[in-house]
Amino acid sequence: MTNTLERLNRYRELVDDWPAFIEACRMPLPTVVWVNPLRQAALLKLGKQGAPATSAGTDCASDSDILIATSILATRLEALGYPSQPVNWYPGALRVDDIDKPGKTLDFYLGLYHVQEEISLLPAVLLAAEPGERVLDLCAAPGGKTAQIACQMENTGTLVANDIRPNRLRALRSNCERLGLLNVVVSSHDGTRFPLEVGQFDRVLLDVPCSCEGNVRQSGKIPFEQAGGVRGRAGLQATLLGRAWKLLAPGGVLVYSTCTFAPEENELVLDYVLGEDAKIEPLEIEGLSSSAGVTEWNGRGLRPDCHNVARIWPHLNDTGGFAAARIRKRGEAP
């Protein structure tokens, strides 16, 4: 841990409250689950058989169904000895205490919920895909974000979920099946060469492989030494972004995200790859605090809209570390 903290020292200037940041990095991460809206009919049915407190399920579909389904899931998890708290910024998500095997329940097997790190729920929220669209998730495995996007699209349209690694593709496919995602096409390309002839997409999620510094709370250490440090991945990240940008239709939205603090893997990549036709948009998520992106690093000035990159430090919301940018491509949608 000491070694790890020394390595985080390079971010001292960027963090508003250093002791709080260090303190947060030492804490374990809570488990988060989110209700699968595609299976909420099953949850509503199960709720009717259960405790009277959850008998509010009605037969007509409405926006509040997801809230009812969430409270039914909370009741069912509690009955198994796993009390939970709602995640205030993400409807349908619950922080679950003391659950060591969230995958051993009938409800998980049935795809009624998915298990995902809380802060990694963010990119899909920023992407905000809509029903009927054509969407690409270029580095998709094991598929938590794919699943969120498929649900946003209400199981319509086309969502291409791509990854390069065979064993991770297996996990991706198995999650897509378990959650009943009918609008997903899984593909297995090297993202840096994803075929352009497939055509352009309304939205692209680029959740790049990174040095994972933000996962320090999960593992108690930073695994970036093996990965070649914070500069080792920047080349791949930039190449992936270049390709993803070509695959994005004019007027479309690309979300770039990492679970790392290093500007080399975030703002510097955006600054290096993005041109005049890109605009990094300001972000605001109700209930979630973030700090601004860096516009200068090691004496180098970056494009001013890098300020709009959202940096999520672990102490801000008691989550893992994360960074995300929502980028709009200029031009009219075709």
Partner 1 sequence: MSTSFIRLDGQPYVEWWEDRFGLSPATFAGLCFYQRGRSTVWAGVPDVDDLTGARVEAVGIPLLRLGARFWKPTSIAIITFASMASRNVLDLDDQETRRFLAGSESCLEATDPRREDLASGFIVARHDGVAIGCGEWHHGTLYSCIPKGKRVESVDL
Active site residue 212: no
Question: ∠ CA(233), CA(11), CA(322), 5° rounding?
Answer: 60
Query: What are 323's strand-pairing partners?
Result: 258, 311
CA pair distance 147, 172, nearest whole angstrom: 10
DSSP 185: E
Residues 6 or more apart in contact with residue 137 via CB below 8 angstroms: 145, 146, 149, 159, 160, 161, 162, 204, 205, 207
Question: Alpha carbon 274 to chain centroid distance?
Answer: 22
Region of 65-73, 90-98, 101-109, 142-150 interacting with ligand SAM (CB under 6 A):
142-150
Using CB under 6 A, which of 57, 92, 144, 263 touches ligand SAM? 144
Q: How far is the CB of 204 from ligand SAM (least distance, A)?
A: 12
Give the interface segment with partner 1, choosing from 182-190, 216-224, 229-237, 280-288 (CB under 8 A).
182-190
Binding-site partner at residue 41 among ligand SAM, partner 1, none, CB < 5 to 8 Å by type = partner 1
Per CB under 6 A, 17 contacts ligand SAM:
no
State which of residues 37, 47, 57, 142 lies at the interface with ligand SAM (CB under 6 A). Answer: 142
In angstroms, rounded to a whole number, what is the distance separating the alpha carbons of residues 160 and 81? 38
Phi, psi of 67 (to 5 degrees): -70, -40
Task: Tell whether residue 168 is a contact of ligand SAM (CB under 6 A).
Answer: yes
* Residue whose CB is less far from partner 1, 24 or 72: 72
279 is a contact residue toward ligand SAM (CB under 6 A): no
Binding of residue 158 to partner 1 (CB under 8 A) = yes
Q: Tell me the two tokens of residue 17.
A: 């409250």
Asked if 109 is part of the footprint of partner 1 (rule: CB under 8 A), the reply reads: yes
Q: Do 114 and 36 form a contact (C-beta atoms < 8 A)?
A: yes
Query: Could you tell me which residues are beta bridge partners of residue 86?
Result: 94
- Residues 208/237, Cβ–Cβ less than 8 Å: yes
Q: Does 180 bind partner 1 (CB under 8 A)?
A: yes
Tell me, by CB under 8 A, how many residues bind partner 1.
37
Please give the residues from 192 up to 231 whose contact with ligand SAM meets the rule CB under 6 A. 192, 207, 209
Q: Which part of the chain contacts partner 1 (CB under 8 A), choosing from 89-97, 170-178, 273-281, 320-328?
A: 170-178
Q: Which residues contact 27 (CB under 8 A, 6 or more apart)?
A: 217, 314, 318
Partner from ligand SAM, partner 1, none binding residue 198, C-beta < 5-8 Å depending on class: partner 1
Q: Which residue is nearest to ligand SAM (CB)?
A: 191
Dihedral (Cα; 149, 150, 154, 155), 10-degree rounding = 170
46 vs 234, beta carbon nearer ligand SAM: 234
Q: Which of 25, 151, 259, 306 is catalytic?
A: 259
> What is the longest distance spanned by two Cα atoms in the chain?
63
Residue in 312, 310, 305 with CA at minimum distance from that of residue 325: 310
By rule CB under 6 A, what string of x and - marks binding of each residue 90-129 to ligand SAM? ------------------------------x---------
What φ, ψ does residue 153 adopt, rounded to 5°? -80, 5
Number of residues that bind ligand SAM (CB under 6 A): 17
The item of ligand SAM, partner 1, none sharing an interface with residue 88, based on CB under 5 to 8 Å by kind, is none
Nearest distance from C-beta of residue 197 to partner 1, angstroms: 4
Nearest in space to 194 (alpha carbons), one of 232, 149, 246, 145: 246
Q: Does 157 participate in binding partner 1 (rule CB under 8 A)?
A: yes
Point out which residues bind ligand SAM (CB under 6 A): 120, 139-145, 163-165, 168, 190-192, 207, 209
Give the residue numbers marked as catalytic.
Answer: 259
